[in-house]
Structure formats: C-alpha cells, structure tokens
Amino acid sequence: METPGPQNEFEFGFLTRCPQRLEFDGGVVEPVSDLEKLVEDISGSVHEQDGFLYPPISERWKVRTELTREGVRENERELVRGSRRQALLFRLPPTHSMLIASPARRDEYGHGDEAFILHALSYIFGTRLQFRRWFLDMRIPVNKDTRDFFLTARSAESFLSTSYACWRAWPRATQDRAINALYMNSRSPSYEWDWERFAIDYMVFDALYRTTSEIHGLTCPTHFARLRAMCQQYRIPDNSTWLQAIYDLRNELFHESLWDGHQPGLSTNEDAFRTGLNLRWLNLRLIAGLFGYTGEYLQTEWWEHWRAAF
C-alpha cells in the first residue's frame, strides 16, 4: 500500500459529531486538536430553534484613494449603501483531516477519492461538509441532525470501508454520479421550502436509480415502477400508499409546477410535508443499499419516522 503523503491529505469541516479518529480500509479521518473549542465558537452563532448555521452578513465598501508623490494612498472607507445581505458564499474552519492511502483517482483537488469520502461522511453524520479551500453556501446543519438513524464509530468505519470499496470498482462516470448523489443528498436540508427539498431529493432518487440500473441492470418503464423496484432491489420495506404519494407529488411538481395541487410556497396539508420526509428517509436507505450496506437499517420502515440503529 502506498504511504500517504501531503498530496493525499485533505482538511475539511464543519463536523461536530465525530470527536474520534476513524480508520477504514484505504484511509483515516482524524479530528483537529482544538475541535472542542472550534465547536464551542461556532455553536454561539447557530440558530437556537432549528440548529442551522446561517450565512454571515456581507457588505461592500468603497475605498477612497488619492495620488501623492509616493504613489496611490488609500484614505477612509465608505460603506456602499444597500449592499448588506447574507453572504452568498462563506467558509468554515476545518474540523478534521482525511488521509487516503492509495487513491484510485488523482483528479484536480476535491474531485477524486477525497470527494467520495467527504460526501460519504456527510451522509453518515447527517450534515454538509466542504474542503478547506472551498466555499459553502446556504444554511448548514450544525446542531441539526438530518438523519433518521444513529451510528457508532465502529459502524461508521464499516460503512466507509464497504462503500469506498464499491465506489472504487465502478466506472468513472458512475463514480462521478454517485458523488453527486451524495452531495445533493447532504445539500437537500439546506433548502427552506418543503417543495424545494422534495425536488432535490427526487433528483437524488433518479441518480440512485440510474446508478443501480448500470450496476445491477435494473430497468423500469415508469417512475412509480422505479420506486417499487428500488425497494425490492435493496430489500427495503414497500408501502404502496406512500410510494403513490411520492409519485403523485413528483408528477405535479415537475410537470405542472404544482405542489399538492397549489402554488409552491402556499400552505398545504400535513401529508405533503410528510411525503417529502418519506422520500428523504427512503433515499437514506437506498444510498446505504447501493454502497453495499446489508445491516438491519435497510429493513426499517421509512414512513414511521423514528430513529433506528445503523
């Protein structure tokens, strides 16, 4: 096995639920030495009701200059009126580093094996993560847990080992789609409207279906057939009522710009909100199954909305 070097080490954040070192087949994830202080510092800015960290306020300044014998000199700054807003992009300090022993791909920074591990960590810890050099956008679930399962360090290491081995064996295009599915899955809770989250989660489902079709040869003529067949493929419980509800919401939203028969953003009944959650919980199980997980979590009922062991 190749000895990890600086080119195989990546810093990332912001991960609060992993205070311990994780070792998996092919790499290591390790917290920074001052993790506890970093978490304490960031937690003061987290929204107390929903557990999300919202983008900081940004503003633009105009700098007055004058030409002197010594050259151009900057004088006082002036705030540009009306420029204050939530930042579109922002950074968070790294909380962890990963070492990859022998990468299958040496792509441009952030697009190789490290991308898969990063977003696999986002999945198992129910958050959004980003590399130190890159930016984040929208709200970030820091104290908000976006999973319906809990896990131990041992189950986290086991999933990382199994999923990484599966991913490495796939064709390059399939690898890229799998990374994007994990990325969009972690991004979904950052959207604030239920219909937005549903649209993103259905994009994730479509990517999972396409990947399953390539890996296992699954083919279905309709979207409803896909929902049922994916459950059967990964031995996940089937619920015709809720699968039909997902299918109906998808058709209205994608083909008619309707959300539960109304304009998106208007008040709807509780079933539409719950159907959106059901799609997310179903996706979490499909992701696990796609990456080779075979534990009892797959057999739990995704429409019951209770946390299970992973």
Q: For residues 126 and 81, what is the distance between their CA atoms, to the nearest angstrom?
A: 39
Cβ 259 vs Cβ 253: under 8 Å: yes
pLDDT value for 122 = 98
Q: Which domain holds residue 205?
A: 191-310
Mind listing the pLDDT tens digit for each residue in 261-281? 999 998 888 999 999 999 999
DSSP 83: -
Co-location of 223 and 286 in the same domain:
yes
Residue 38 has pLDDT above 50, yes or no: yes
DSSP 243: H
Mind listing the pLDDT tens digit for each residue in 164-223? 999 999 999 999 999 999 999 999 999 999 999 999 999 999 999 999 999 999 999 999
Query: In this structure, is residue 186 part of a structural domain?
Result: no
Final residue in a domain of this structure, among 115, 137, 170: 170
Chain mean pLDDT for the chain: 94
pLDDT band with cut points at 50, 70 and 90 for residue 109: very high
Co-location of 67 and 45 in the same domain:
no
- Roughly how many angstroms between the first and final C-alpha of the chain, as a whole number? 30
Q: For residues 23 and 25, what is the distance between their CA atoms, to the nearest angstrom?
A: 7
Co-location of 132 and 197 in the same domain:
no
pLDDT value for 79 = 83
Who contacts 282 (Cβ-Cβ below 8 Å, separation ≥6)?
Answer: 205, 227, 231, 236, 246, 302
* Count of domains observed in the chain: 3
pLDDT band with cut points at 50, 70 and 90 for residue 233: very high
Cβ 264 vs Cβ 200: under 8 Å: no
Co-location of 115 and 45 in the same domain:
yes
pLDDT value for 63 = 80
Query: In this structure, is residue 181 part of a structural domain?
Result: no
Q: For residues 33 and 23, what is the distance between their CA atoms, to the nearest angstrom?
A: 17
Query: In this structure, is residue 203 part of a structural domain?
Result: yes
Co-location of 42 and 73 in the same domain:
no
Residue type, 11: E
Residue type, 264: P
Cα–Cα nearest to 57, from 83, 28, 20? 83
Who contacts 88 (Cβ-Cβ below 8 Å, separation ≥6)?
Answer: 55, 58, 137
Co-location of 12 and 44 in the same domain:
yes
pLDDT value for 4 = 47
Q: For residues 297 and 62, what is the distance between their CA atoms, to the nearest angstrom?
A: 55
Co-location of 31 and 78 in the same domain:
no
Mind listing the pLDDT tens digit for each residue in 47-56? 999 999 999 9
Co-location of 120 and 73 in the same domain:
no
Which single residue is written with the structure tokens 């050099």?
133
pLDDT band with cut points at 50, 70 and 90 for residue 300: very high
Q: Based on C-alpha coordinates, what's the Rg of the chain?
A: 22
Co-location of 142 and 214 in the same domain:
no
pLDDT value for 6 = 57
Q: For residues 302 and 310, what is the distance between their CA atoms, to the nearest angstrom?
A: 13
pLDDT value for 293 = 96
Strand partners, 99: 9, 28
Query: In this structure, is residue 74 part of a structural domain?
Result: yes
Query: In this structure, is residue 104 part of a structural domain?
Result: yes
Co-location of 6 and 151 in the same domain:
yes
